[in-house]
Amino acid sequence: MTQVRPRRSVLYMPGANERALEKAKSLPADALILDLEDAVAPDAKEAARDRVCAALGDYGSREVAIRVNGLDTEWHDADLRAAAAAGPAAVVVPKVNSATEVHNIERALELGGAPASTKIWAMLETPIAILRAAEIAAASERLTVLVLGTNDLAKELHASFVPGRAPLLAALSAAVLAARATGKLVLDGVYNDVRDAAGFETECRQARDFGFDGKTLIHPAQVEPCNRIFAPSADEIDHARRVITAFDEARAAGRGVVTVDGRMVENLHVEQAQAVLAMAEAVGA
Ligand SMILES: CC(C)(COP(=O)(O)OP(=O)(O)OC[C@H]1O[C@@H](n2cnc3c(N)ncnc32)[C@H](O)[C@@H]1OP(=O)(O)O)[C@@H](O)C(=O)NCCC(=O)NCCSC(=O)C[C@H](O)C(=O)O
Ligand SMILES: [Mg+2]
């Protein structure tokens, strides 16, 4: 079975917040983003950079990424140099707007001596980034994940946050299309109302149904529901097993198509079922 690395729940934590950095050690998020950008005040940027780079080894086998400040900021170059030397699983770069910017980030990581294991996660959070999503995604093999920045995107679009996210749906779809067309992963943006558990679950389900691999999070209370919703359910696992069994039996009988629960099953559905089982195995579902 194919090994998959789950990225259902990807939790941001402010790089200057000692308590959050400590708390995250006990949280079951699939991945963590230690943030140097929006969650860190300008006069705390340098201390946060040092703290975050020193904390990388504290989170066991979990994937830990560093979000650097934007390309047009005074902190970006030093953040990238420090991250390259520290070697996180990924450098998350906000507001990536072109393939050229991806090439520049790639070159800076190489010059800084970043190991090959340090990937680029590019944030799509402007209208131009959404329009160029596929070329950004394809710009580098080091770029493995697209991350939606829905707060910045809504701001740039002059869009409102409404239940169902109608104003953002075209952009969400464009990001998923770009990721799938280029073989990259794609993570949904954050849900700001940390006390609205029902609204958060609804948004997780929407993201999962759109094809997102996971969601970025801002609060510990969002981790468990996100993990649950992005993991295959017991019914999905049972259905996947039955699809594989039914198709194997059909093949043995010389047929290439069969029905399960009255629905047509072909080889492509078997591949989907295998992916469900691989994810279930990876997350212990
Ligand atoms: C959103 C928060 C400011 C809420 O803070 P607060 O009300 O203080 O939370 P709680 O009191 O409920 O916290 C309970 C305990 O949990 C710890 N905690 C809180 N958040 C985190 C976290 N993200 N990671 C780890 N631990 C966390 C608290 O320290 C409490 O611990 P304890 O006292 O020991 O019990 C706050 O949650 C927060 O700051 N969240 C992260 C904000 C952030 O990182 N923002 C930047 C990323 S999102 C973004 O940039 C959007 C994107 O770019 C876009 O454009 O959309
Ligand atoms: Mg943003």
Residue nearest to atom 40 of ligand 1 (CA): 218
Higher pLDDT, 170 or 60: 170
CA distance 40 to 15: 7
User: Pairing mode, if any, of strands 31-35 and 258-260?
Assistant: unpaired
Distance CA 58, CA 88 (A): 12
Let me know if residue 4 belongs to a domain. Answer: no
**Total structural domains within the chain:** 2
CA–CA distance, 37 with 68 (Å, rounded to integer): 6
| Residue closest by Cα to atom 37 of ligand 1 | 219
Average pLDDT along the chain: 96
Same domain flag for 248 and 270: yes
What is the average pLDDT across 278-282? 95
Query: Ligand 1 centroid to 189 CA: how many Å?
Result: 15
pLDDT at residue 3 is higher than 90: no
Tens of pLDDT, residue by residue over 71-105, are 999 999 999 999 999 999 999 999 999 999 999 99
Q: How far is the centre of ligand 2, averaged over its atoms, from the C-alpha of 229 (Å)?
A: 24
Which helix or strand (DSSP H or E) is residue 144 part of? Answer: strand 143-148
| Residues framing ligand 1 (Cβ under 6 A) | 11-14, 19-20, 23-24, 35, 38-39, 94, 125, 149-152, 189-190, 194, 218-220
Q: How far is CA 8 from CA 29, 83, 97, 118, 280, in A?
A: 8, 24, 25, 19, 12
Indicate whether this model's pTM tops 0.90: yes
Residues 132 and 59 in one domain: yes
Structural domain of residue 261, as residue ranges?
234-283
**pLDDT single digits (tens) 184-236:** 999 999 999 999 999 999 999 999 999 999 999 999 999 999 999 999 999 99
Name the strand (E) or helix (H) holding 227: helix 223-230
Q: Same structural domain for residues 180 and 240? A: no
Q: What is the pLDDT of residues 265-277, one digit of tens each?
A: 999 999 999 999 9
Measured by CA distance, the residue closest to atom 53 of ligand 1 is 149
Same domain membership, residue 116 and residue 257: no
45 shares its domain with 136: yes
Please report the pLDDT score of residue 2 as a whole number.
63
**Residue 3 domain-assigned?**
no
Q: Are 44 and 16 in contact (CB under 8 A)?
A: yes
